[in-house]
A = this chain, B = another copy of it.
Amino acid sequence: MINNQFAIVPTDSEAAIAELTKIHFITPAMTSLTTVPAVYRALLAESFPEVKTTSGLKHKFANLMATSQLNLNEWLENATVVNNQVFYNVGLQLLGFLPGQDFDLADPLLAMRDIHLPMVADSAFDRESLYYAWYLLLNTRGNNGQTLIEALTARGYFVPFYQLPNEQKPLFFNGKAQAVFNTNDLIRDVVYVEAPLDTDHDGKRDLLKVEILRPAETATGLKVPVLYTASPYNQGINDHAGEAQMHNVDVPLTAKTPDTNTYEDVEYQPQTPDLPAERPVKTTSDDAEETFGREKSYTLNDYFLARGFAVVYAAGIGSVDSDGLAPTGDIDETTSTVAIIEWLTGKRHAFTNRDADVAIKAWWTNGSVAMTGRSYLGTLATAAATTGVDGLKTIISEAAISSWYDYYRDNGLVVAPDTFQGEDTDVLAAEVFSRSLKSGDAHRIQSKFDEKLAELTKDQDRDTGNYNRYWDERNYLKNVDKIKADIVMVHGLNDWNVKPRNVANLWDKLQKVPVTKKLILHQGQHIYINNLQSLDFTDMMNLWLSHELYGLDNHAESLLPNVLVQDNTKAETWHGYDNWWQDSTQSLDFKVQYKELVPADHPVDQRAAHFTDKLPDKLFKHYQQDLNAWQTDLLSESKTNPLYDHRLLFKSWQAPSDQLLVGRPHVQGSVAVNKNFGMLSFMLIDFGEAKRLTVSPQMIAAKALDLGFHWREDDLKDFKLAPATPFKMITKGHLNLQNRHHPWHAEAIQPNEFYDFELDLQPIFHHLLKGHQVGLVIYGTDMKMTIRGNQDLQYSLNLNDIQLHIPVKSIDEN
C-alpha cells in the first residue's frame, strides 16, 4: 500500500497536546508519570478500548513486537527511552502493517517513507515530542484505508463521548469531525416541502417528500448542518417503464433539413410560471408525523451521520409520495431540488403530511447545507448550485452531468452513455417517475405523465440530434456565473457514461467564478471513490465539510490540491496540480502520413484515404451482441482483423520521454462522403504493451470500512494493475458532418464533396509512458454509442488536411 493522504492539518505541538487532551488520550493521571516510556505505555493502553483490565492489556501488548527480539511488554519492562524505531515498529503494527511482509522490524523508518506515512524525525522522544508523534500517528492512515483514530472509532474509542454535553459537540480532531454521535439514536422524520411549482397542473403547488436523519442531540438543542442528496432514484425505480421506453438504435442516419439557426434561435428563456398560491399555514408543529425504516443511503452521508451532520434525501417531482412529473433535467427539476434547501433555510413551508394542515420548520439545523451524490444526484447538486441559492455552502458533485446534451448527444448526433445504448431523457424520466410504482397514485396521474413523456420524446428530437431549446434548458453551464457555493468535483477519466466533457466544461467555466473549487480526477469509470485504500477521500471531505458547514478554520481550502489526479500508469499514485489544461501552454501537434502520425512541421504528401462503414450482416450482428469485441477489433492492427478496412488508424513515434497529455485534444481535417449526410467518430489511443489499471476498483476486504461504531460499512477497494495489454483508448469524439460548426445548426452537404471539419475530443489527463505511441482512429459508426444503421456510407479523408493537437503539461510540475 502507498498512502496518499491530503487531509492532515499541520498542527503545532501545543495544539496537538490540547487536542489529545480533548479526546482523552492525554489524561490528568498521565502528568504524574515520570518517564517517557511510562507515558508511552499509557498512550498505548488507551488504544485498546476492547479490554478493561491490566491482564487483557498485557496480552494485547504481547501481540506487538517493539524490536526484532522484544515484544512490547518485554521492551517496556526495561525501557528508559522511546526511540523512533520502537515507536514506528509499534505504530506500523497499530496501523495494520505486518512485520516481515509489509516492513522490517529492523528498519521501520524505511517503510514509513516507502508507504508515504508522515513521521517525526526525532530519534529519541521527550514527552512533548512523544505526544506530537502520537498525535501524528492517530492521524495517519493504515493498511485498512483508515486513520488510526478512525480504526479506534470502529473499536469503540468514542463511545464514552456520546455523553458529552451539546456544547462540546461536534468534536473536531485535526480539523475533522469525529464520530461522537450515537447512530443508534438517530431521529428519522418525513416532511412534505411545498415547492413553487405545479408541474402536474392540479391547481396546487407540488408537495415533495423529504426524508431526514438527524442526531438525537438536535432534540436537545444542537443545531447541525445538512448533507442533502437529491436523488430521483431514492424512492424506487420503474425499470419496466424505462425499458418499455428504450429506443431502437439500429436505425439509419438520415439527412437533416438544413437550417439557418443561430444560438439565439434555440436559446431557452426562463418564463415566470403562473403559480397557485402557497397553502395557508394554520397550525404548526415541531414534531413530524411520519418516519421511515430504511432509506436508500449513500455511504459518504452515512459516515457523516456519526459525526454531527444531518442527512436529507429527496427524490423530487414525480417520485413516490411527492407531486409532479419527472422532467429529466429541466428548470422545474432544479426548482424542485432547490425548494428543499429553501425549506432548510427557513424560506419555504413544509408540512407534516400531505393534507398540509400542519406546518413544520427545519428548526434543528444551523442552516448550512451541502449537496452530495454521484451521477444524476451530483447533477442535481450542480443544477442547484447554478441557481446561487442561499444556504447551499458547497456541493460535492461526483460524476455529474453539466449539460444533458453532453450526456445524450454530441455535435449533432445521438450519442448514448456507455452501456446504455438507446437511453434518452424520456427513458430516464419513465424510470424515475416512481409515482407509477404506487398504483393508487398512478391511477390518478399516469395519463398526465404519459402526455409529458410524449412531449419529452418529441422535444429531445432523436431524429436530428440537434441542440435545441429543449437541450438549452437542460444546460447548467449557462448559469455557472451564478454559483455561490464552493465546489468539489470528482470524475472518472474512464467514465464513458457521464463523459469527461461534463466535468471539464464546468471546471473551465468556474475558472472565473469567485468560489473555491477543487477537482479530483480518478482512473475509474462511473464509480464513487469513498472506499479506496490508498486515498483519504473521505477524510478530505470531512476536512472540507467541517470547514464549509461548521465554519471550522482548518485550512481545507488550501490543504486540498486544486486538481488531484490519479496517475494512470501506476497503482496508488495521485498527484496534485494547480490546474487542468488551463495553465498549459505547450502541445503536441501532429499531421498524418499514410498510417502514421508525424510532427506537424513534417512535410506530408497529398493523398486521400478511404473507408466504408457498412459491415457484413453477420459481423454487424456479432458486434451488436459483443460491443467489447467491436472495440478490440477496431483497435487491432492485424490485417486479418475484420474492421481493418472500416476505419483509419494512425500511429505516432514512440514517445522519447514521458508525456502528460491534458485537456481537449483537437482534430481537424477534410472529409467527403458518398451521401448527403454522414458522421465521423474518433478515438485517441495509447499504444504500448503495459500493465494498466483496472477501470473498476478491486475488492480488498468486504465490509472492512466502518463508518462509525456499530454502524454501516463499506467495502475496502482499490485500483490494481491488470495483466499487460497492448493499447488503451484514451478518449473519443463524434461529429455529425452536417453540424461541423454548431450542434444547433444543420448545414447541407453534397455527396462526394470535401468539407473541412474540426472538433474537440472528450478532455483527458493522460500519462503517456516513454516508448508508447499515440494513435488516432477515425471511423464512422460507434457501436457502443451512436445509432447503428449499418449503411453503405463511404468516407474519404484528405490525409494532408488532418491535424491533431494535444495540449501537454510539464511532467515535472508536481
CA distance A62 to B384 in the complex (A): 31
Q: Is the CB of B439 within 8 A of A63?
A: yes
**A757 at the binding interface (Cβ < 8 Å):** no
- Known contacts A50-B291, A184-B184; 20 additional CB pairs below 8 A are A50-B292, A50-B293, A51-B353, A52-B289, A52-B290, A52-B291, A53-B290, A53-B353, A55-B354, A61-B440, A62-B440, A63-B440, A64-B439, A71-B439, A98-B437, A98-B439, A105-B439, A155-B292, A293-B709, A293-B710
> Which chain B residues border A443 with CB–CB below 8 Å?
65, 69, 71
Which B residues lie within 8 Å of A58 (CB)?
355
Contact between chains at B294 and A65 (CB < 8 Å): no
Residues of B within 8 A of A101 (CB): 240
Known: A50-B190, A101-B240, A190-B50. A56 touches B439 (CB 8 A): no
A592 contacts the other chain (CB 8 A): no
The answer, yes or no, to whether A217 is at the interface (CB within 8 Å) is: no
Residues of chain B contacted by A280 (CB below 8 angstroms)? none
Of residues A65, A290, A437, which shows the largest number of chain B Cβ atoms within 10 Å of its Cβ? A290
Q: In the docked arrangement, what's the CA distance between A290 and B64, Å?
A: 18
Residue of B nearest to A702 (CB): B296
Q: Are A440 and B64 in contact (CB under 8 A)?
A: yes
The answer to whether A156 touches B440 (Cβ under 8 A) is: no
Residues of B within 8 A of A291 (CB): 50, 52, 156
**Beta-carbon contact of B290 and A50 below 8 Å:** yes
Interface status of A797 (Cβ within 8 A of chain B):
no
Name A51's closest neighbour in chain B (CB-CB).
B290
- What 1/0 mask marks residues of chain A from 601 to 631 whose CB sits below 8 Å from any chain B CB? 0000000000000000000000000000000
Contact B440–A56 (Cβ < 8 Å): no
Interface: A599 (CB within 8 A):
no
Distance of A105 Cα from B50 Cα, bound (Å): 56
Which residues of B have CB within 8 Å of A676? Answer: none
Which residue on B lies nearest to A351, using beta carbons? B55
Please measure, in the bound complex, the distance between the C-alpha atom of A61 and the C-alpha atom of B52, giving whole angstroms. 53
The CA of A709 and the CA of B294, in the complex, are separated in Å by: 8
Q: Is A457 an interface residue (CB 8 A)?
A: no
Per the bound structure, the CA–CA distance linking A105 and B93 in Å amounts to 63
B contact residues around A504 at 8 Å (CB)? none
| A352 CB contacts on chain B under 8 angstroms | 53
Q: Nearest B residue to A723 by beta-carbon distance? A: B625
Partner of A289, one of B51, B98, B184, B354: B51
B residues near A155, Cβ cutoff 8 Å: 292-294
Instruction: Tell me if A441 counts as interface (CB < 8 A to partner B).
Output: yes
When C-beta atoms are compared, the residue in chain B nearest to A354 turns out to be B59
What distance in Å separates the Cβ of A214 from its nearest Cβ neighbour in chain B? 15
Nearest opposing residue in chain B for A437, CB measure: B98
Closest to A156 in B: B293
Shortest distance from the beta carbon of A415 to any chain B beta carbon, whole Å: 27
| Inter-chain contact B439/A59, CB cutoff 8 Å | no
CA–CA, A778 and B808, complex, Å: 60
Given A93-B439, A154-B293, the answer on whether A56 and B353 have CB atoms closer than 8 Å is yes
Q: How far is the CB of A350 from chain B (nearest CB, A)?
A: 14
* Complex CA–CA separation, A291 to B60 (angstroms): 13
CB contacts (< 8 Å) of A72 on chain B: these are 440
Chain A 337-361 residues near chain B, CB threshold 8 A:
352-355, 357
Interface set, chain A 289-303, CB cutoff 8 A to B: 289-294
Cβ of A706 within 8 Å of any chain B Cβ, yes or no, is yes
* A672 vs B53: C-alpha distance when bound (angstroms): 70
* Chain B contacts for A61, CB-based, 8 A: 440
**Within A428-458, which residues are at the interface with B (CB < 8 Å)?**
437-443
Question: With an 8 A cutoff between CB atoms, is A388 at the interface?
Answer: no
Nearest residue in B to A239 (C-beta to C-beta)? B101
Determine if A410 is an interface residue (Cβ-Cβ < 8 Å): no
Of all chain B residues, the one with the shortest Cβ separation from A53 is B289
Sampled A-B contacts (15; CB under 8 Å):
A50-B290, A52-B289, A53-B290, A55-B353, A55-B357, A56-B353, A62-B440, A63-B321, A64-B439, A64-B440, A71-B439, A99-B439, A100-B442, A105-B439, A156-B291
CA gap between A591 and B779 in the complex, in Å: 57
